[in-house]
Amino acid sequence: MPKLPLARVQPGQKLSRPVTTAAGVVMVQTGTELTAALIERLRAMGVEMVAVASGGPGARDARLLAEQVTAVEARFAGHEQDPWMMRLKDIVLRQLAGADATTDA
Amino acid sequence: MLDKAVVRSRVEGISKVVTIPAVVNRILALVATGTVSAGEIADEIGKDQVLAARVLKLVNSGFYGFRQPITTITHAMVLLGGDVVKTLVMTASVIDLVDRMNQLLEGLWEHSVGTARAAGAIAERLRMRDVEEIALCGLLHDIGKVIVGQTFPVEHARIRQVVAERNCLQIEAEAEVLGVSHAEVGMWLLKKWSLPPNMVYPIAYHHAFHPRRDFADRTAVVHLADILCRAKGVGYPGDRRLPRLDPEAWQVLGLDFADVEEVCRHLTDESVAGVLG
């Protein structure tokens, strides 16, 4: 499983590789199940990407969401200089993340 | 590239190739007189049971949002107005839109329903008159793609190929392969069917807005609705790109981003599922 942006991983997923500092010191071990609190802590530490195991609860949703985000990015390609289009993109991405949150609940 | 006049005459020829049932011609003649009552038109539609059933199916598809089922053509006429029923009759009789759209392009029907819903929602927020009619413009805005696919199968295949190779907008591939756009093709057909200009213009110019053209407000609604539906990824319009929003169309509408957000919120795969599909 490739690394995912931290914003896209969900509680219940397990790390498939350890989270380390830039110097290589392990902060969180492989196999650790992510919780909302842990994700928040990683974010606070400036961690941007983590590798999570596929197949765990929520993993499929996370992968689907990541695919949808990629599709939105591709659709809006070429409109980067258009402020109106970029605002629309923000709305779409926000609703995508929001819809996922409600599915989870 | 084909000659534009040749394309046009072939598109207009469809009305001869596809037999319009006699009843539809009589209904069109009745509507054209302008003095006919809803009941008289309903009587005519009622003479063709298949047609009547299709019209009622469209009316009750969930698309118009009536809480109570509409069971008679007269009732539909009163609620939706003569022009909408006329358009429904034309589309229901000549084109079995759902099947043809999805045979040709998987997801085009869902894109059409999504655009219709968005157009209706935008028109409602703007308190425009004849919201149902504007929604119907949204439903039919890509009818030209169906006609191109049916009438020019070779060019249609080439257009699909160009879109796949270059990841461009379908309308760009159409310009190159066919020399005309699906919007123009749709316009020719709808004009040939004698649909009123307030239905034809928004469809004809949904990719070419101009603030001083007739029915600019409706055209702007369909233009925006198409983009919102694409942005949300509802259905498949034939490509995976987004046309740029025309700033003048945005100005004409006078909406803000809270409106856009609200319209987008209701624009989901679930919202277009099960509408006649």
A42 and A63 share one domain: no
**CATH code, domain carrying A34:** 3.90.105.10
A78 and A40 share one domain: no
Cβ–Cβ gap A88/B227 under 8 Å: yes
Query: What does chain A come to in residues?
Result: 105
A64 and A47 share one domain: no
Q: Buried b vs exposed e over B93-103: b needs ≥16 C-beta within 10 Å? A: bbbebbebbbe
* C-alpha–C-alpha distance, residues B1 and B65, integer Å: 43
* Residues B202-241: tens digit of each pLDDT: 999 999 999 999 999 999 999 999 999 999 999 999 999 9
Q: Does the beta carbon of A26 lie under 8 angstroms from any beta carbon of chain B? A: no
Residue B203: CA count within 13 A, CB half-sphere: 30
Residues spanned by the domain of A63? 59-104
Q: Do the interacting molecules here have an ipTM over 0.90?
A: no
Last residue within a domain, chosen from A31, A51, A71: A51
Cβ–Cβ gap B233/A91 under 8 Å: no
Where is pLDDT greater, at B131 or A74?
A74
A42 and A76 share one domain: no
Domains of chain B: 1-16+96-277 (1.10.3210.10), 19-94 (no CATH)
Nearest CA in chain A to B246: A84
A8 and A46 share one domain: yes
- pLDDT mean over A1-28: 80
pLDDT of residue A45: 82
Of B187, B198, B188, B183, which Cα lies nearest the Cα of B83? Answer: B198
The lowest-confidence range among A34-38, B39-43, B111-115, B134-138 is B39-43
Q: Does the beta carbon of A83 lie under 8 angstroms from any beta carbon of chain B? A: no
Dig out the tokens for B59 from the structure.
């009316």
Last residue within a domain, chosen from A13, A28, A51: A51
Where does the pLDDT of residue B49 fall: very low under 50, low under 70, confident under 90, or very high at 90 and above? confident
A9 and A42 share one domain: yes
pTM here is 0.72
A43 and A68 share one domain: no
Where is pLDDT greater, at B107 or A102?
B107
A7 and A47 share one domain: yes
Domain count, chain A: 2
Where does the pLDDT of residue B247 fall: very low under 50, low under 70, confident under 90, or very high at 90 and above? very high
The lowest-confidence range among A86-90, B11-15, B112-116, B136-140 is B11-15
Where does the pLDDT of residue A55 fall: very low under 50, low under 70, confident under 90, or very high at 90 and above? low
Q: Does the beta carbon of A97 lie under 8 angstroms from any beta carbon of chain B? A: no
A44 and A80 share one domain: no
A43 and A64 share one domain: no
Q: What region does A42 belong to: left with phi over 0, alpha with psi -120 to 50, or beta?
A: alpha
- Looking up tokens 């049916």 gives B150
